[in-house]
Amino acid sequence: MATAYDASGPGFIERARTEWILLPSLFSGAARGSVIARVVGRLPTLGRWTRLATTHRHARALTTMAAIALVVALGCEREDPIIYRVPESVGVLAARDVSQPGVLVLEFEDGRRLTLERNRLDYLLGGIPNAGELVLAGGHDDRVWAAGIARTRTQGLPPDCFDFFSAGVDEGDTIALDVGLRLPKAPIFDDSLSDGGRYYGDFCLNSEGQITRYRGGRM
């Protein structure tokens, strides 16, 4: 006697749950559309499985299968696009002042001061920048943002290297980084280090906010 595919076992459900978590982060753009097309394309086979089902347990399993397929397809569309911010102010932080209500005042080593409204402020790469860190700051829509990047402690790197870890895509004179920044390359940057125009590793910035070095993996 023919029987239906048993999708009710805990192993199957666990695999489906894992795929639901991973799919939104692994697929984007055309890849998401391809995944959804494959899922939708397989839905007619549920009718054949239903005709083969002979027990209540199998029917319940098919219902679970259909629900999981729909959730996975919808989940692939939930990924939000990355907003790439371009710094408007760059400098090494000498001191910060949080004593004034509602504002954060950053004082750079060259004497410049930057005042940011805290109720409109978003932080990238951590919390409030600390003294000695490289600060990148700017505005986006009705928000302002700031990022603090610590000076590297890795031996063999120049003292003006401020490093952080990210994935990125080469754009010619700039690199769009998954941490939400679009930064310029320094003249000394080696373009040959990318993997087909993509990066995944540590980036080194100089005090002007230019990318000077890259190393796949971690430095």
Q: What is the pLDDT of residues 126-162, one digit of tens each?
A: 888 999 999 999 997 789 999 999 999 877 777 789 9
Around Cβ 181, how many Cβ atoms within 10 Å? 29
Q: Is there a single domain that holds both residue 23 and residue 65?
A: yes
Q: Is there a single domain that holds both residue 173 and residue 131?
A: no
Q: Is there a single domain that holds both residue 51 and residue 25?
A: yes
For residue range 182-216, list pLDDT tens digits in order: 999 999 999 999 999 999 999 999 999 999 999 88
pLDDT at residue 59 greater than cutoff 90: no
End-to-end CA distance of the chain: 61
Q: Is residue 80 part of a domain?
A: no
Q: What is the pLDDT of residue 93?
A: 98
Q: Is there a single domain that holds both residue 131 and residue 174?
A: no
Q: Is residue 64 part of a domain?
A: yes
Backbone dihedral angles phi then psi of residue 61, each to the nearest 5 degrees: -65, -40
Domain with 104, as residue range(s), is: 89-148
Q: Is residue 196 part of a domain?
A: yes
Q: Is there a single domain that holds both residue 36 and residue 62?
A: yes
Per-residue pLDDT band for 86 (boundaries 50, 70, 90) equals very high
Q: What is the pLDDT of residue 61?
A: 46
Q: Which of 123, 92, 128 minimizes the C-alpha distance to 208?
A: 92
Q: Is residue 67 part of a domain?
A: yes
How many domains are there within the chain? Answer: 3
Per-residue pLDDT band for 165 (boundaries 50, 70, 90) equals very high
Which two three-digit tokens encode residue 203?
């980036």
Q: Is residue 132 part of a domain?
A: yes
For residue range 33-47, list pLDDT tens digits in order: 433 444 344 444 444
Q: Is residue 129 part of a domain?
A: yes
Backbone dihedral angles phi then psi of residue 150, each to the nearest 5 degrees: -75, 150
Which two three-digit tokens encode residue 101?
């209500």
Distances (CA, A) of 9 to 17, 180, 211: 13, 41, 51
| 205: CATH | 2.40.50
The per-residue pLDDT of the chain, averaged, comes to: 74
DSSP-assigned states of every residue in 18-64: HHHHHHHHH--THHHHHHHHHHHHHTTHHHHHHHH--SHHHHHHHHH
Backbone dihedral angles phi then psi of residue 217, each to the nearest 5 degrees: 80, -145
Distances (CA, A) of 183 to 28, 99, 146: 22, 31, 14
CB 134 within 8 A of CB 111: no
Q: Is there a single domain that holds both residue 173 and residue 130?
A: no
DSSP letter at 78 equals -
Read off the pLDDT of each residue in 103-111 and give the average, rounded to a whole number: 96
| pTM reported for the whole predicted model | 0.63
Q: What is the pLDDT of residue 126?
A: 81
Per-residue pLDDT band for 110 (boundaries 50, 70, 90) equals very high
CA atoms within 13 A on the CB side of 180: 16
Q: Is residue 128 part of a domain?
A: yes
